[in-house]
Amino acid sequence: MFNSLKKCYLFRNIPLKDIRKIMNAVNYLTKEYNKNETVFSEVKFASQLGIIITGEITVIKNHYSGKLIKLNTLKPGYLLGISAIFNDKMNYPSELIAQKLSKIIFIKQDELMKIFAINSKVLENYLGYVSNRINFLNNKIEVFTYNNIEDRVLHFLRLRCTGINSPVEIKMTKTDLANYLAISRSSLYRALEKLQQSNCIELINGNIYLADKAMTSKGITN
């Protein structure tokens, strides 16, 4: 358990012995979920923070069109439930489904406050994580400010790019990516083909690489 907690952003740069001390000082709940079992839904959730210990959790969003969009896959060490705590919202923004037998630690809001008091580094990590999530969501919103499909796809690729000589990290299928961008699968393939013809991207062995042009221009329609 503690090795998984060590991977968690919440306990980043905190020695394992201190993590043990922190967790032994507070109350938490450990729950197991079978494959395809719902962890959180839009209307069934609790005001508590979760940390995945074992297994794999998929984040799914119900699109207005009726489609289920796979947003992310969470593995051991990942946090979940950030938007379920420290607010008075009556709904959760997505659905969390176990993809295999999974074990999750849940920490209630008041117990999380105790952890912050015990070790201020945990509070610093938590605030850093929330800040990163806000930045991620702002970038996601910006994707949809592009009316042109090619520019929308290009902006998404920029956000996932770690370097000109490195493949773009896309941790979803082409179908899931098309749904995420609110376009059809055929439109996605046409956009990728057009971006390649415009020398914005290169497709090599199934991987996508961004060219210098793609990193310096705002979009291919400019």
174-209 pLDDT, tens digit per residue, is 888 887 787 888 999 999 999 999 888 888 887 888
Q: Specify the pLDDT at position 78.
A: 93
d(CA 85, CA 11): 18
User: Each residue of 114-141: pLDDT tens digit?
Assistant: 999 999 999 999 999 999 888 877 877 7
Angle at 129 between CA 123 and CA 130, to 5 degrees: 90
Q: Specify the pLDDT at position 129.
A: 92
Domains and CATH numbers, the chain: 2-123 (2.60.120.10), 143-216 (1.10.10.10)
Q: Specify the pLDDT at position 222.
A: 42
Q: Specify the pLDDT at position 13.
A: 94
Q: How many CB atoms lie within 10 A of CB 214?
A: 22
Q: Specify the pLDDT at position 11.
A: 95
User: Which residue has tokens 């507070």?
Assistant: 26
Q: Specify the pLDDT at position 174.
A: 84
Q: How many CB atoms lie within 10 A of CB 67?
A: 12
d(CA 41, CA 33): 14
Q: Specify the pLDDT at position 180.
A: 79
Q: Specify the pLDDT at position 216.
A: 59
Q: Specify the pLDDT at position 220.
A: 45
Please list the ranges in the chain whose pLDDT falls under 50: 219-222
Phi, psi of 86 (to 5 degrees): 55, 35
Q: Specify the pLDDT at position 213.
A: 67
